[in-house]
């Protein structure tokens, strides 16, 4: 009889404990239930405006001319000049594949490298203006200095400073091949990485100003923050924040190699992607703000739209559109892996190339009549606007 009374007493105590309202929960709620509010967000959709098919895979990133002409290279060795509607305007045949992305000079001259070791200077109509032969494959994309000097790297390990007429002005011998594209700082300093694991700071005359040793290949190109902080990724998985003198300010460790080039948002946040398939949103101090996991490795570099939307491609074949907080806004599926970086036209059209041989012209994300419901955890204070529901519920209407 005493044993029965003891068990009964224990059960009564446990029942009484569960019936008591826990701090932060509605009266009468039991177990581990929590309180959530349901919020509704609009669903955005990306539609195709046009596309152009080249004769081979496209790894080159498009560039936009002042009149809206899109210029892009292809593995078929051609530089294509496309109208804003996606139709062919002109093309130029080089001697090998083109991975380099074009740069546009103030007079409309297009500068692009080729795997035939040459840097081509093309007129706006697509005809040849000049060329310069380096000592190796040119997959680096050119950068244009304020005085019109063209800076570009080569697999021969040199950084070339070329005059607007295509002749040599100066060169710098780095350690290792150069796939990184140069970036020009406000004072004219050129920042470029090498496969030898260094980030070089070069003066406008081509001489060495400073360098920083990383622990891996540098194929990423640098981005410059408003305070002149240099942000660049490395093959060791780190994103480096460097002072203008080349010394280390901060770093962030990603989950895979970083060959994507960073982009700077209006609030100073840094967006960069990694071969771990993630897109990282970093605070200006280098700490993590948010991240999003895609289904493929990412070489593509982010581009920022006028409204703050972040656009980039992934090897899963999708073009992703992110809100400034790092959450997914929309996506578009192509039929090939995407290595290139998107370009944005004045009307908001997104131009991106794919391994399916195509250059896509996409309309910017548009709101649809659908909404997505999400549950957000709130304090269970007895408010009429909150109610206990299962965590993480998501419903599309």
Report whether pLDDT(61) > 70.
yes
Looking at beta carbons, which pairs linking 184-188 to residues 24 or more positions away fall under 8 Å?
184/143, 184/144, 184/145, 184/146, 184/151, 185/224, 185/228, 185/230, 185/244, 186/224, 186/228, 188/145, 188/146
User: How far is 177 from 197, CA to CA, in rounded Å?
Assistant: 10
Residue 310 maps to which CATH number? Answer: 2.130.10.10
Q: Does a structural domain hold residue 187?
A: no
Residues contacting residue 2 through CB under 8 Å, at least 6 positions apart: none
Tell me what percent of the residues of the chain surpass a pLDDT of 90.
81
Total structural domains within the chain: 1
How far apart, in Å, are the Cα atoms of 106 and each of 102, 103, 110, 145?
13, 10, 10, 10
Q: Does a structural domain hold residue 370?
A: yes
The reported pLDDT for the residue numbered 30 is 46
What is the torsion angle, in degrees rounded to the nearest 10, for the CA atoms of residue 246, residue 248, residue 250 and residue 251?
Answer: 90
Task: Please classify residue 13 by burial: count the beta carbons closer than 10 Å to its beta carbon, then call 0-12 exposed, 13-18 middle and 19+ buried.
Answer: exposed
Average pLDDT, the chain: 89
User: How far is 305 from 154, CA to CA, in rounded Å?
Assistant: 30
Confidence of residue 32 (pLDDT cuts 50, 70, 90): low
Q: Does a structural domain hold residue 271?
A: yes
Q: Does a structural domain hold residue 312?
A: yes
Report whether pLDDT(10) > 80.
no
Residues contacting residue 109 through CB under 8 Å, at least 6 positions apart: 121, 122, 123, 124, 129, 164
Report whether pLDDT(125) > 50.
yes
Q: Does a structural domain hold residue 269?
A: yes
The mean pLDDT of 200-213, rounded to a whole number, is: 98
Q: Does a structural domain hold residue 214?
A: no
The reported pLDDT for the residue numbered 7 is 42
Report whether pLDDT(167) > 60.
yes
The reported pLDDT for the residue numbered 2 is 42
Tell me what percent of the residues of the chain surpass a pLDDT of 70.
87
User: Which of 122-126, 169-173, 234-238, 380-384 shows the lowest mean pLDDT across its residues?
Assistant: 380-384
Which residues partner with 320 through β-bridges? Answer: 312, 331
The reported pLDDT for the residue numbered 300 is 97
Report whether pLDDT(396) > 50.
no
Q: Does a structural domain hold residue 91?
A: no
User: Which of 8-12, 71-75, 168-172, 358-362 shows the lowest mean pLDDT across its residues?
Assistant: 8-12
User: How far is 68 from 66, CA to CA, in rounded Å?
Assistant: 5
The reported pLDDT for the residue numbered 113 is 98
The reported pLDDT for the residue numbered 215 is 85
Give residue 250's domain range.
220-380
The reported pLDDT for the residue numbered 6 is 46
Q: Does a structural domain hold residue 257?
A: yes
State phi, psi for 50 to the nearest 5 degrees.
-165, 170
352-391: pLDDT as tens digits: 999 999 999 999 999 888 877 766 677 776 544 444 444 3
């Amino acid at each position: 009889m005493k044993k029965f009374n003891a068990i009964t007493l224990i059960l009564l105590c446990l029942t009484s404990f569960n019936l008591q309202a826990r701090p932060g929960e509605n009266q009468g709620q039991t177990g581990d239930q929590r309180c959530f509010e349901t919020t509704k967000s609009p669903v955005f959709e990306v539609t195709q405006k046009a596309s152009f098919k080249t004769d081979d895979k496209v790894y080159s990133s498009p560039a936009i001319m002042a009149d809206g002409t899109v210029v892009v290279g292809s593995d078929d060795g051609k530089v294509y000049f496309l109208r804003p509607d996606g139709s062919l305007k002109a093309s130029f045949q080089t001697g090998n594949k083109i991975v380099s992305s074009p740069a546009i000079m103030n007079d409309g001259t297009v500068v692009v490298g080729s795997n035939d070791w040459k840097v081509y200077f093309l007129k706006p109509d697509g005809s040849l203006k000049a060329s310069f032969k380096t000592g190796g494959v040119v997959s680096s994309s050119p950068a244009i200095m304020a005085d019109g000097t063209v800076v570009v790297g080569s697999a021969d390990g040199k950084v070339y400073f070329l005059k607007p007429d295509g002749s040599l002005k100066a060169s710098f011998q780095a350690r290792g091949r150069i796939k990184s594209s140069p970036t020009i700082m406000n004072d004219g300093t050129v920042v470029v990485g090498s496969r030898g694991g260094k980030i070089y700071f070069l003066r406008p005359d081509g001489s060495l100003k400073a360098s920083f040793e990383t622990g891996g290949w540098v194929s990423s190109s640098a981005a410059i923050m408003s305070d002149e902080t240099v942000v660049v990724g490395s093959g060791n998985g780190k994103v480096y924040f460097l002072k203008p003198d080349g010394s280390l300010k901060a770093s962030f460790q990603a989950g895979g190699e970083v060959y994507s080039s960073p982009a700077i948002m209006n609030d100073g946040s840094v967006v960069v992607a990694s071969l771990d398939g993630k897109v990282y949103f970093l605070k200006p101090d280098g700490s993590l703000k948010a991240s999003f996991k895609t289904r493929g490795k990412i070489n593509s570099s982010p581009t920022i739209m006028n409204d703050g939307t972040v656009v980039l491609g992934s090897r899963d074949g999708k073009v992703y559109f992110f809100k400034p907080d790092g959450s997914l806004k929309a996506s578009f599926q192509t039929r090939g892996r995407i290595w290139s970086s998107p370009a944005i036209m004045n009307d908001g059209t997104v131009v991106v190339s794919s391994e399916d041989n195509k250059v896509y012209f996409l309309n910017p994300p548009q709101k649809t009549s659908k909404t997505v419901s999400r549950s957000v955890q709130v304090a269970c204070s007895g408010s009429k606007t909150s109610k206990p529901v299962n965590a993480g519920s998501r419903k599309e209407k």
